[in-house]
């Protein structure tokens, strides 16, 4: 009997994922097969005719079992690509989303900052991306979760940025000192009742603390708006991601806190996505 090949294993994995109702079984099977082989996904085509070892196939089967339970691919592989870089991901942090790259693009379109503050840093993907793109800047990442901060510190080490960033356990700005030219934040914004309607990949696997702040989904914007001026420099910009349909409420929260200059920006799908706040006069 001819040995099983990588192609055989990939076809079987795709079929199992399709049978479990996974949305894009072919894509996920390719990523997981490459991870089991310990190669990059773009090399998978070249490996298709190769025999697959028993150990590698067992490793792949374990990964497919986890994905069939709707565990996110990024948690299984432990990595997620964001703005051209790979970041460590664990069940303790929110999986960086492509739409959050809108916040990065807006930040890069503005003045070069000396200091960057990332509130609710999670993986550190936003902050560390900006530090890599602004090589003269220093950053502070704040998060209430000590486990999330461990992930962010590991990502900083991976990217060689640990000398330019500090991480602090803080409930938003409570333990943050100093002022910053650029403040970025992707807070929890899903209304509590809507969590049950999320895809199981998100609902059952990502930390609820990073998904919902409470009943309205706006609670954390209200908390941050009351604290924000204390960490802003005279030339500060603050960029906040928000959810679909929340633009009017988010803008009102910051305007009611005294910030007259609030601008709403759209993402690449033309959805209102980011609020930009400038220091009130």
pLDDT tens-place string over residues 212-239: 999 999 999 999 999 999 999 988 999 9
Last residue of a domain, one of 49, 69, 89: 69
Any idea of the CA torsion for 160, 166, 170, 173, to the nearest 10 degrees?
-120
Cα separations in angstroms, 227 against 52, 218, 222: 56, 15, 9
Does pLDDT of 189 surpass 90? Answer: yes
Where b means 16+ CB within 10 Å and e means fewer, 230-262 reads ebbbeebbbbbbbbeebbebbbebbeebebeeb
CA distance 39 to 60: 13
What 3-state DSSP class applies to 232? strand
Within a domain: 75 = no
Residues 95 and 171 in one domain: yes
Q: Write down the pLDDT at residue 1.
A: 44
Domain interval for residue 29: 6-69
Looking at the 3D structure of the chain, how many domains does it have?
A: 2
pLDDT tens-place string over residues 89-140: 999 999 999 999 999 999 999 999 999 999 999 999 999 999 999 999 999 9
pTM, full prediction: 0.93
pLDDT band at 279 (very low <50, low <70, confident <90, very high): confident
Residues 260 and 123 in one domain: yes
Last residue of a domain, one of 69, 101, 117: 69
Residues 176 and 237 in one domain: yes
Alpha-helix residue ranges (DSSP H) falling in the chain = 6-19, 25-37, 44-47, 54-68, 73-77, 101-108, 125-133, 146-158, 200-203, 219-227, 247-256
């Amino acid at each position: 009997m001819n040995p099983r090949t990588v192609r055989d294993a990939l076809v079987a994995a795709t079929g199992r994922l399709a049978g479990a109702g996974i949305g894009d079984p072919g894509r996920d099977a390719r990523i997981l097969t490459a991870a089991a082989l310990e190669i990059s996904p773009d090399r998978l085509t070249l490996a298709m005719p190769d025999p697959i070892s028993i150990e590698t196939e067992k490793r792949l089967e374990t990964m497919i079992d986890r994905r069939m339970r709707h565990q996110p691919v990024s948690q299984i592989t432990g990595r997620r690509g964001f703005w051209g870089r790979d970041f460590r991901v664990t069940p303790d942090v929110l999986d960086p989303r492509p739409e959050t790259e809108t916040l990065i693009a807006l930040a890069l379109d503005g003045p070069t900052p000396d200091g960057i503050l990332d509130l609710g840093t999670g993986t550190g993907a936003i902050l560390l991306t900006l530090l890599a793109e602004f090589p003269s800047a220093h950053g502070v990442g704040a998060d209430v979760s000590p486990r999330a901060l461990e992930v962010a510190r590991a990502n900083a080490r991976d990217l060689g940025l640990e000398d330019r960033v500090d991480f602090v356990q803080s409930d938003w700005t409570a333990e943050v000192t100093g002022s910053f030219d650029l403040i970025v934040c992707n807070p929890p914004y899903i209304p509590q009742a809507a969590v049950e309607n999320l895809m199981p990949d998100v609902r059952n696997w990502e930390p609820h603390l990073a998904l919902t702040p409470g009943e309205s989904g706006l609670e954390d914007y209200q908390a941050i708006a009351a604290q924000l001026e204390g960490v802003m420099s005279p030339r500060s910009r603050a960029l906040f991601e928000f959810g679909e349909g929340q633009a009017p409420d988010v803008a009102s929260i910051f305007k009611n806190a005294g910030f007259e200059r609030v601008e709403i920006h759209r993402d690449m799908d033309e959805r209102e996505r980011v609020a930009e706040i400038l220091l009130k006069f």
